[in-house]
Amino acid sequence: MSSEPAPLSLEILVIGAGVLGLCTAAELTRRGRDVRVLDPGGLNASAVAAGMIAPAMESAIDDVTPERAALLRRAADLWPGFAEAHGLELLDDGAEWRGEGADEIEARLRALGFAPRRDGDRVFAPEDRRVDAEDTLAALSAGLPHSLILAEAQEISATVAGWRVRHSGGVVDAGMVVLATGAAAALPGLPDDAWARVSGILPIRGQIGLAQAQDEPGVVRGLGAYAASGEARLLIGATMEAGRRDLEPDPVTGQGLIAALERFSSAVVDPAEVDWRVGVRGATADGLPLAGASGAPGLFLALAPRRNGWLLGPMVGRVVADAVEGGTSLPDAAALDPLRSF
């Protein structure tokens, strides 16, 4: 007789409790769907982040097209309603660029339709917002009707009624599955097309630090680093190291971030007191996430937002929930379609 426990049966299983997974679960729950989230727990890449909802500065720093900047702005515009619906605190303190590169940043912002304010070598973008990443993940998780299934997904397979997911604590049978597994390797058993899409995601290692210094208000950016003030701490970031999955903080990398910060900021940081953390994000070839139907019945993707997971979270949640319900409510869904050509 088999000792394997009976599978848990439910309507929708979201695999992954990062920002895209939790925003999707929150949106589906708001629509009355039966949702559970499977995740091994611990810090994920969404927690190792500054919680930037920054269409202006992100567009200027990456020198994106006007079309991409407009998409990021529309994504940011979804945040106030999403935050209100789910009881989240949204910080409207803007973002400031300081020092070298100010002329270029200002010119890019204006060319993309933003409205920066200039004061000497400082450029202020009032459109940008942020959240506290760890607090917001906790609030989104707490707002779900069921606690997380704290286990690691190991294998997925199609069934007559949907999908079976084996994990480190047992088995789940779900009518539909949303993969929100970040930059993790593709789950064994995925259909070939979905496996290829997930396997094509580029990992990007990001190192940030938490310090006690509080000399800077809000978000301050400059060449090579940024500082974001939170409650009793200063977050220092961040690297973008493509192709790396290692999670051990690098002291030399940390020293480089502090040195870059000190060139444009008045923050005084003791390197010995910084808690360095590393997260691995995923990116597609065009820099936009995979959000929507995978092509396999009942299997959906919410993956690879590069460094804009917090900015794009509510948009991805809406797009995936629409796909689950067989419709489309946002014109940007096509740009995030997992089946698009790169």
Give per-residue pLDDT as tens, 262-285.
999 988 888 999 999 999 999 999
How do the domains of the chain map onto residue ranges?
1-51+132-201+284-342
Give per-residue pLDDT as tens, 46-105.
999 999 999 999 999 999 999 999 999 999 999 999 999 999 999 999 999 999 999 999
Identify the band that residue 142 occupies on the pLDDT scale cut at 50, 70 and 90.
very high
Among 3.90.1300.10, 3.50.50.60, 3.30.2130.10, 3.30.70.3270, what is the CATH number of 1-51+132-201+284-342? 3.50.50.60
User: C-alpha distances in angstroms, 117 versus 69, 170, 245, 257?
Assistant: 18, 55, 38, 26
pTM, two decimals, is 0.96
Q: Would you tell me how many other CB atoms lie within 10 Å of the CB of residue 101?
A: 18
Q: Which two tokens stand for residue 334?
A: 């096509």
Give per-residue pLDDT as tens, 221-235.
999 999 998 767 899
Q: Which two tokens stand for residue 16?
A: 């992954």
| CB-neighbour burial class of residue 43 (10 A; exposed 0-12, middle 13-18, buried 19+) | middle
The torsion region of residue 113 among left (phi > 0), alpha (psi -120 to 50) and beta comes to left
- N-term to C-term CA, the chain: 50
Q: Which two tokens stand for residue 166?
A: 């084996």
CA quadruple 71, 72, 73, 77: dihedral sign = positive
Q: Are 227 and 214 in contact (CB under 8 A)?
A: no
The average pLDDT across 304-322 equals 98
